[in-house]
Structure 1
Amino acid sequence: MILLGLTGSIGMGKSTTAAMFAAEGVPVYDADAEVHRLYVQGGAAVGPVGEAFPGVVRDGAVDRAALSAQVVGKPEALQRLEAIVHPLVAQSRAAFFEKAQAAGADVVLLDIPLLYETGGEARVDKVVVVSAPPEVQRARVLARPGMTEAKLDAILDRQLPDAEKRRMADFVVDTAQGLDFAHDQVRKILATVRFQAGPA
């Protein structure tokens, strides 16, 4: 089974590209969505996160804004949070792999926003980076409700620059030239990795 890692900076079209892989029959594991599931009412992270960070659980779920206020800019607190969340995410990822393998999938996609920033490229076979020119990226992100130039710059400061991601990638999907063009690139990537893998 070929593991593809999908990443890209904010506003590059990563979620749309992940959906294109899914449309081609590739099982997709969304790391961000999994963390969201762990934080909702009944989620496996609610209890331990509430104990480690008093006051962040409201109505039985983790209040992400309250949690963020306790960990952003505090490396020790962030490490404490990661020590709780990362093993839970790893468990769900292992279950996802088992299910995909049982279904006979030859390729799976791991959608991980901070893939390079967390060293995740070492755990996948190939990396796909979703990219678009800076002016397209800024226009997309600033069109989001509540987004400001200052907020965008703060987010970009925490992410590896797009040019660096593209340089390190095995494949790049350009999302600035329309959905059909991007989907065509996705199909070509799948054809290439399957050809390189050879017969099962």
Structure 2
Amino acid sequence: MAKVWGLTGSIGMGKSAVAKMLRREGVPVFDADAEVHKLQGPNGALIPAIETRFPGTTGPEGVNRAKLGAAVFGHPQELKALEAIVHPAVQRSRADFLRRNRARRLVVLDIPLLFEGRGKYRLDGIIVVTAPGWKQRARVLRRPGMTPARFKHIRHLQTPDAEKRRRADYIIDTGTTFERTRAQVRRLVTCLHAKGGR
């Protein structure tokens, strides 16, 4: 049975880059965000339910993220309604992923809101991706449509980076060069394979 590790990190910390590095090292990674994009994309399985609950937020290209975001951003009840549609579907996809990869030594679940969410995960450990605050801010503010106010609000909603690092089994620091980050990932994979015992 595969060892299951959770990968998380606050916005702009470089988690997606680390997930790609893990895949290059041969580790299967389940990307919850990518799964949501697929489910909400063109002909996505969740489009009918989202359109019924949030009329006018979908089209031929799938969910219109700006419209759906406007419908739920700052509205806790609406956000809960959306989560009630999305979360069960992602959980089913994750269960399928774990079944397909049960013979592997280890797998990683990329879970952006591991500490903030209400999901229950059976994990063998947690990997936290981190970077200095100034670098996080610079990365996030380069994103289209991002503003300092929105970034501040997102940070307020997320568990502080220091707390995530305190609760981590392993930490990957992306505040350094790409090569040094990749070296950290390679060392981590070697260590996790050794822990797997196979």
TM-score (norm 1): 0.91
Using the TM superposition, give the Cα deviation of residue 185 of structure 1 relative to its aligned residue in structure 2, in angstroms.
Answer: 1.5
Deviation larger for 67-76 or 84-93: 67-76
Tell me the equivalent position of 2:67.
66
Contact 2:106 2:196 in 1 (8 A): no
Tell me the equivalent position of 1:157.
156
Tell me the equivalent position of 2:44.
43
Tell me the equivalent position of 2:113.
114
Q: Distance in 2 between matches of 1:152 and 1:79?
A: 21
The number of residues matched between the two structures is 197
Secondary structure at the residue paired with 1:80? helix
Deviation larger for 169-178 or 189-198: 189-198
Secondary structure at the residue paired with 1:123? coil
| CA-to-aligned-CA distance 1:40-88 (integer Å, 9 cap, x gap) | 1211100011111122122362212211222222222222211111111
| CA-to-aligned-CA distance 1:70-108 (integer Å, 9 cap, x gap) | 22222222222111111111111112112223xx42111
Structure 2: stretches of 5+ with no match in the other structure: none
Using the TM superposition, give the Cα deviation of residue 151 of structure 1 relative to its aligned residue in structure 2, in angstroms.
Answer: 2.2
| CA-to-aligned-CA distance 1:114-143 (integer Å, 9 cap, x gap) | 111014574321111111111121222223
Contact 2:129 2:172 in 1 (8 A): yes
Using the TM superposition, give the Cα deviation of residue 145 of structure 1 relative to its aligned residue in structure 2, in angstroms.
Answer: 3.5
Letter in 2 for 1:149: P
Aligned ranges 1:20-35 → 2 under 5 Å: 20-35=21-36
Deviation larger for 167-176 or 74-83: 74-83
Letter in 2 for 1:38: L
The answer to whether residue 168 in structure 2 is matched with residue 191 in structure 1 is no
Contact 1:5 1:121 in 2 (8 A): no
- RMSD over equivalenced CA pairs, Å: 1.7
Q: Distance in 1 between matches of 2:180 and 2:120?
A: 25
Aligned ranges 1:1-200 → 2 under 5 Å: 1-59=2-60, 61-101=62-102, 104-120=103-119, 122-199=121-198
Structure 1: stretches of 5+ with no match in the other structure: none
Q: Distance in 2 between matches of 1:178 and 1:60?
A: 37
